[in-house]
Chain A
Amino acid sequence: AAGVIQSPRHLIKEKRETATLKCYPIPRHDTVYWYQQGPGQDPQFLISFYEKMQSDKGSIPDRFSAQQFSDYHSELNMSSLELGDSALYFCASRVLQGVSEKLFFGSGTQLSVL
């Protein structure tokens, strides 16, 4: 079965540059989440989309923006990159299964800001 696909897998940028991370959720999953995980840290919620509409916002800097497109893929845009933005960025999609739900993560994009 297809999983959540993220691209690129690795990204190296310099300070003040911009970066765009892409996420392709599992088909028919209703919600997409973006998380940031610093080295040795737990994942921190950035933003989520339900049926292409922004549904919740976490600790996402103003320099970051995200959207979900008509084909359900999502992009996280990061501008004026800082050294502290170096982290693993996860996208996840959610499916409801009766009274249960599952959240599946992509393999992540490792962003390094130099």
Chain B
Amino acid sequence: AQKITQTQPGMFVQEKEAVTLDCTYDTSDPSYGLFWYKQPSSGEMIFLIYQGSYDQQNATEGRYSLNFQKARKSANLVISASQLGDSAMYFCAMRPPGTGNQFYFGTGTSLTVIP
């Protein structure tokens, strides 16, 4: 069975500081994709970053980077230079291989950026 674990239900960070949101996963498949999504209070799900299990380098997208440690099965999201607009729920998700396979989501981390 696939499983995503986010152990931080809530996090606080000072504006302009960096913050790391933890995510660990459990899968026996060698090939999978990892994602991070942001869900602001308005409810929409916003794609942030993707990491493939065979990617040699950690993914980066602007202020977002993914600290991928395959042996430890962790895929932590690092947000640099936090902004007030970063306050939201953040979900880690994993997709096993194969077209159409469902995405498994973690329970999310609520991030609050303090001015």
How distant is the Cα of A56 from the Cα of B43 in the complex, in angstroms? 25
- Give the contacting residue for A48; candidates B43, B52, B91, B100; CB below 8 A: B100
- Count A-side interface residues using an 8 Å CB cutoff: 29
Q: Do B45 and A100 touch across chains, with their CB atoms under 8 A apart?
A: no
The yes or no answer to A49 lying at the interface (CB within 8 A) is yes
How distant is the Cα of A87 from the Cα of B19 in the complex, in angstroms? 30
Q: Do B102 and A58 touch across chains, with their CB atoms under 8 A apart?
A: yes
Chain B, range 42-99, C-beta contacts under 8 Å to A: 42-47, 50, 52, 54-55, 91, 95, 99
By a CB distance below 8 angstroms, the chain B residues around A35 are 103
With contacts A43-B91, A88-B43, A99-B52 known, is A55 near B106, CB below 8 A? no
- Count B-side interface residues using an 8 Å CB cutoff: 25
Complex: chain A residue closest to B45, CB-CB: A105
Q: Do A33 and B103 touch across chains, with their CB atoms under 8 A apart?
A: yes
With contacts A31-B99, A92-B45 known, is A42 near B37, CB below 8 A? no
By a CB distance below 8 angstroms, the chain A residues around B44 are 105-108
How distant is the Cα of A44 from the Cα of B104 in the complex, in angstroms? 8
Complex: chain B residue closest to A104, CB-CB: B47
Interface residues of B (CB under 8 A from A): 33, 35, 37, 42-47, 50, 52, 54-55, 91, 95, 99-108
Interface residues of A (CB under 8 A from B): 30-31, 33, 35, 41-45, 48-50, 55-56, 58, 88, 90, 92, 99-108, 110
